[in-house]
Amino acid sequence: MQERRFGATDREVAVVGQGTWNIERTDRSLTVAALRRGLDLGMTHIDSAEMYGSGEAEELVGRAIAGRRDEVFLVSKVLPTNASRRGVVAACGASLTRLKTDHLDCYLLHWRGAHPLQDTVAGFEQLQQQGMILAWGVSNFDTHDLEEVRRIAGVGHPACNQVLYHLEERAIENAILPWCEKHGVAVVGYSPFGHKGGLPGPRTARGRVLKEIADAHGATIHQVALRFLVRRPPLFTIPKASNPEHAAENARAGELQLSEAELARIDGAFPLDRQARALPTL
């Protein structure tokens, strides 16, 4: 599994990690087994949130990483409604209890809400001082929001911005990704296979491009898609897996090497709308 530096932190993190949105809705034993299989194969970046299943996803992650916490780059997120200075600290404590750990490697504001960013940042800094988190970042932030965070917290913050990013939703490449590249902020793409039925099939022109490239490497179209989404230095992706076999398929994308010509073919099949400036979210 390829690893790269995660933003301004000193951590080398797997480019393909593991998402956990809605994992509580599937067979729980298979979910835990999938997360553990992912760890076996180097997908040591696990992302969760207090919102996911109202904490149930964090509990499942806690089961999966039991006895293996030192292997994991563990991330969770605080809801905007809990993002006051005191609320951040309390919410983090509850997440740590569910995850059965004493610290997070990175803690994110899930999206911007009514609480002033100064208060949220102050809560994050308190958590760092207490050793409850090692770094902090944001999710679903546009460039003007990122600029405000940087003005408040200074150079090296936020550590990351987690955003919607898949082949058919590349709007972050217009402004958000360049901003993060310039300022050394990791970009973590969620829902990498989309949320409206997944990747196009081989009967479509776009699907044929993915299939031809996949066949040339003995890979799957999902692996090709994931590899495209981490092709630039700030990029990470966090696909979800519902079973160990799916986790293994995702993990193999971390070893796949695509040529510049192949990347160009994918770029042409799924072109960036250069007029798209609004932050995409789910």
Please state the pTM of the whole predicted model: 0.94
Percent of residues, the chain, with pLDDT higher than 70:
99
| Tens-place pLDDT, residues 2-11 | 999 999 998 9
Give the per-residue SS3 of the chain.
CCEEECCCCCCEEECECECCCCHHHCCHHHHHHHHHHHHHCCCCEEECCCCHHHHHHHHHHHHHCCCCHHHCEEEEEECHHHCCHHHHHHHHHHHHHHHCCCCECEEEECCCCCCCHHHHHHHHHHHHHCCCECCEEEECCCHHHHHHHHHHHCCCCCCEEEEECECCECHHHCCHHHHHHHHCCEEEEECCCCCCCCCCCCCCHHHHHHHHHHHHHCCCHHHHHHHHHCCCCCEEECCCCCCHHHHHHHHHCCCCCCCHHHHHHHHHHCCCCCCCCCCCCC
Mean pLDDT of the chain: 95
Q: Is the pLDDT of residue 138 over 80?
A: yes
| Tens-place pLDDT, residues 213-254 | 999 999 999 999 999 999 999 999 999 998 999 999 999 999
- CATH number of the structural domain 3-269: 3.20.20.100
| Tens-place pLDDT, residues 80-122 | 999 999 999 999 999 999 999 999 999 999 999 999 999 999 9
Q: What is the rounded CA–CA span in Å between residue 13 and residue 94? A: 25
pLDDT band, residue 279 (cuts 50/70/90) = confident
| Tens-place pLDDT, residues 196-213 | 768 888 889 999 999 999
pLDDT band, residue 276 (cuts 50/70/90) = confident
pLDDT of residue 200: 82
Six-digit token string for 216: 């040339």
| Tens-place pLDDT, residues 161-179 | 999 999 999 999 999 999 9
pLDDT of residue 280: 83
